[in-house]
Amino acid sequence: MATEQRNPRLPSPRGDLSAALVAALSEDAPLPGGTAAQAADPYGDDLQLALYLGYELHYRGFAGVPDTKEWDPDVLRFRAALEARFLGALRTDATRHTSVADALAPLLVEPVDGTGVSHFLQDEGELWHLREYAAQRSLYHLKEADPHAWVLPRLWGRAKAGMAAVEYDEYGAGRAERVHARLFADLMADLGLHTAYGHYLEVAGAPMLAVVNQMSLFGLHRSLRGALVGHFATVEITSSPASRRLARAMARTGAGPAAEHFYAEHIEADAVHEQIVRRDVIGGLLETEPHLEADIAFGIDTTCHLEDRLGHHFLTAWRGHTTALRTAHGEAVGAHAR
């Protein structure tokens, strides 16, 4: 199947910050000064949507927004203020380790009685849970590997080679039909969801946007290359066991062969990627730039912090028998059969 390639439309604002940026992108309206971001909730809908909009100019962009807005000085200045607020909160709330070994240690042991989202979906999830999960995660998976590609010019030697090897797999090892973003679009089609890039932005809550924004924040800044490597390592280390549970959830609910295949593909692949990332990417980076160890640990800690917040958001809603979507589209998400 072919995925839709048209650029998404600008979404509805969620507060003053996102309204100002939508107006600037669509109408050339002036942006407020950077102080406007200082009082905003760093994890809230308004700031996270505004930050997402600023970052998306470096990916597909938006319908009706000129490509030149990507490097507009006023937009970049406004985005920098949003980033400072978000990054400051992450440094305060999520910094737990300065040693990579200490930061990785909890990730290398699977808890006996897991209580996360993948456990819930494996054991008791219904198709509507899987649709809501996939709809929101599509903001991540339909750009899978793209934010991490930005780190390649900032690495060298063993770290660069290891990172390129994993990215090559993520991009389908030269086969378009095996690109992981394409496999996720196939999963969405099995679940009766729209496959267009960015289609579910309106229903994705701030916890999901923060997870995606973290990747872009780390990827776009050379000074945060260590943090991006830490983020990437966390994703690869935790992916294989979670993918096994999600594959079981897809099989148990009859979600479809492509839905099951996406996660089955990640079980073995990410187990191999974990070893490459730990040995070559992290190991190689620490050999050449040992001063980045605390930054790598920071990337690990912040990834865990934001994924835990997202998991809490999903499970609080679902255990309360309500939608985890931001707007009242719980039924509509499952109704968009292709």
76: alpha, beta or left, given left = phi > 0 and alpha = psi -120 to 50? alpha
Does a structural domain hold residue 123? yes
**Mean pLDDT, residues 187-191 taken together:** 97
pLDDT above 70 coverage of the chain, percent = 94
Within this chain, do residues 68 and 187 fall inside the same structural domain, yes or no?
no
Residue 37's pLDDT band (cuts 50, 70, 90): very high
Residue 321 phi/psi, 5-degree rounding, is 60, 40
Does a structural domain hold residue 4? no
**Mean pLDDT, residues 35-40 taken together:** 92
Within this chain, do residues 124 and 184 fall inside the same structural domain, yes or no?
yes
Within this chain, do residues 159 and 54 fall inside the same structural domain, yes or no?
no
Write the DSSP string, 321-333: TS--SSSS-TTGG
Within this chain, do residues 51 and 192 fall inside the same structural domain, yes or no?
no
**Mean pLDDT, residues 239-249 taken together:** 93
**Mean pLDDT, residues 79-91 taken together:** 98
A 10 A CB-CB count for 113 gives: 5
120 within 8 A of 245, measured Cβ to Cβ? no
Can you tell me the distance from the alpha carbon of 320 to that of 207, in angstroms, rounded to the nearest whole number?
18
Domain containing residue 77: 16-93
Q: What does the pLDDT look like over 210-233, one tens digit per residue?
A: 999 999 999 999 999 999 999 999
Within this chain, do residues 104 and 66 fall inside the same structural domain, yes or no?
no
User: How many structural domains is the chain composed of?
Assistant: 2
Q: What does the pLDDT look like over 267-324, one tens digit per residue?
A: 877 678 888 999 999 999 999 999 999 999 999 999 999 999 999 999 999 999 999 9
Q: What is the pLDDT of residue 328?
A: 54
Within this chain, do residues 258 and 158 fall inside the same structural domain, yes or no?
yes
Which residue type does 214 have?
Answer: Q
Q: Where are the alpha helices (DSSP H) in the chain?
A: 16-27, 45-56, 73-93, 100-104, 117-124, 127-141, 146-149, 157-170, 180-190, 206-220, 225-253, 257-276, 283-288, 293-319
Q: Which of 38, 159, 147 is nearest to 88 (CA)?
A: 38
